[in-house]
Amino acid sequence: MNVSSSEVALSREELYNRVWATPMQKLAVEFGMSDVGLAKVCKKHKIPRPSRGYWAKLENGKQVLRWPLPPLKDQSLGKIQLRQARKPVKSPDVCLANDPAIAELIAYELLPENRIECVTDLRGADPLVTAIRESLSHRDPDEYGRVSRRYDFAAACFEVGVSKGNIQRALLLLQSLVKAFKSRGYELLAVGTKQKDAKVRVLDREFRISVWEPSNRRTRELTKQEKLEAERWRWSRPRDYEHVPSGILEVHLDRDSYYSTGKIADTKKARVEDRLNELVVDMLHAVDAQRQQAERERLEAIAKENRRRKSLELEIVRRTESVREERLHKVVPRWHKSEQIKQYIAAVRQEALRRTGQIDDESELGRWLRWAESYLDSIAPLSENRALPTFSLTDKELAQLTRECEDDWVSYLESFRPRQPR
């Protein structure tokens, strides 16, 4: 289907400014073209574009580098003609989550009318918030300028590590989150024995919530006494720096020393109080990722079990064939030996008849022939009192062989442990 279009004239400088003011995907939609097509236009006219991660860094208040517009040798490239579709190209639908139910919950959090409002006072605060307030009271700051909960405090608490000046703000943040969790039907839990942690259960996953204030390191002047001690005890030089709270608050999910499941923080553009819905979205994304991982593990377990069963079947066939070969290799020498003995007995009988014409059964030779024939009958594989060779293993033998194969299976290698020769 042909789509009517119109020409849009831009100078090279105008397109450069717009490229650095709006992400390529959104700007391409305004021009009615794809971001790949717009990137080709920029490349043709020597217009630099933001690198990957530029907009994320800019949103988080980090320093970013804007590449200058280089001069042109070919002045004909200074004017740009874009063919703009009159029917604007729709931006692609964004997959909020793999699980449709979780995607619906995330969409709910993204609606402006469902924005989490931060409370302004702690009247009627939740017992969990009251507990952390009591735990932080009369606490001295550590070397980083932060106060945190007492670990011998009996009541369940959230994790808080902030300067004294930000305690009230941290408590208001926690009360706002607790209120939002309850309104959304998420369960608050007290987990632990001696030291209880306050957690929130979102669908089928539990999260620890912690409010954290990073600190900055700055140099300080040593006191006169410290300088004297430094000269006297050169191996024990006092610190010439100190840690100062940054004033920036962060709300973490499952925070430890090196990793957090999710985090929101103060930025130059928005305070953490305005980003509480983002934390809920991070929790829902974590639940969705956990479900995807669980589904992948379930499918992998099924595939692994199928591989095990198939390998087990092939190994049983291989070992069954090995048993048949082993038995055959054992019986053939016995058959050869019995045939030789049979021929020897016949030759003795024939020679005795040639010499004497008859053999008395009670004579020494007669008794030997009876014994030799009896012995031959006991060792000959094809004697009348023995069954003919069978192809299949008995049920008992097959069950034993199956147990041995299962015992020899090494799960992490997905192969069989070599069995010692019998």
- Residue where a domain terminates, one of 268, 290, 312: 290
Task: State which H helix or E strand residue 244 sits in.
Answer: strand 241-245
For residue 50, give the nearest of 34, 26, 31, 72 by alpha carbon. Answer: 26
- CB neighbours of residue 240 within 10 Å: 11
**402 found inside a domain:** yes
For residue 178, give the nearest of 149, 203, 157, 153 by alpha carbon. Answer: 157
**79 found inside a domain:** yes
- Residue where a domain terminates, one of 258, 290, 322: 290
**Rounded distance, CA 129 to CA 126, Å?**
5
Domain that holds residue 43: 5-85
**31 found inside a domain:** yes
Q: Can you give the pLDDT at residue 88?
A: 43
Structure tokens at 279: 């934390």
Residues 194 and 280 in one domain: yes
**Rounded distance, CA 21 to CA 64, Å?**
13
Q: Is 99 within 8 Å of 285 (Cβ atoms)?
A: no
Burial classification of residue 144, based on how many CB atoms lie within 10 Å of its CB (0-12 exposed, 13-18 middle, 19 or more buried): middle
Residues 162 and 258 in one domain: yes
**93 found inside a domain:** no
List the beta strands (DSSP E) in 260-398. 262-265
**92 found inside a domain:** no
**422 found inside a domain:** no
Q: Is 393 within 8 Å of 405 (Cβ atoms)?
A: no
**121 found inside a domain:** yes
Residues 356 and 412 in one domain: yes
355-411 pLDDT, tens digit each: 988 889 899 999 999 999 999 999 999 988 888 999 999 999 999 999 999 999 999
Residues 384 and 354 in one domain: yes
Residues 257 and 121 in one domain: yes
Q: Is 371 within 8 Å of 377 (Cβ atoms)?
A: no
Q: Where do we find the tokens 């009988």?
A: 349
399: left (phi over 0), alpha (psi -120 to 50) or beta: alpha
Residues 286 and 320 in one domain: no
For residue 177, give the nearest of 283, 307, 324, 270 by alpha carbon. Answer: 283
Q: Can you give the pLDDT at residue 149?
A: 84
Residues 330 and 398 in one domain: yes
Return the bridge partners of 252, or none. Answer: 210, 263
Residues 160 and 282 in one domain: yes
Q: Where do we find the tokens 């574009």?
A: 49
| DSSP code per residue over 185-220 | TPEEEEE-SSSPEEEEEETTEEEEEEEE--EEEEE-
Q: How far is CA 288 from the centre of its chain?
A: 13
Q: Can you give the pLDDT at residue 422?
A: 56
Half-sphere exposure of 280 (CA within 13 A, CB side): 31
Residues 133 and 267 in one domain: yes
- Residues of the chain below pLDDT 50: 1-5, 86-93
- Residue where a domain terminates, one of 290, 323, 342: 290
Residues 273 and 232 in one domain: yes
The bridge status of strand 250-253 relative to strand 415-416 is unpaired
**Rounded distance, CA 319 to CA 416, Å?**
12
304-341 pLDDT, tens digit each: 999 999 999 999 999 999 999 999 999 999 999 999 99
- For the chain, how far is it from start to end, CA to CA, in angstroms? 76
- 3-class DSSP state of 82: strand
**Rounded distance, CA 14 to CA 18, Å?**
6
**Rounded distance, CA 161 to CA 246, Å?**
12
Q: Can you give the pLDDT at residue 83?
A: 67
Residues 66 and 34 in one domain: yes
**266 found inside a domain:** yes
For residue 179, give the nearest of 125, 216, 137 by alpha carbon. Answer: 125
Domain count, the chain: 3
- 3-class DSSP state of 113: helix
Q: Can you give the pLDDT at residue 306?
A: 96
Residues 231 and 380 in one domain: no
CA trace torsion 131, 136, 139, 144 (10° rounding): 150
Q: Can you give the pLDDT at residue 257?
A: 75
**Rounded distance, CA 167 to CA 162, Å?**
6
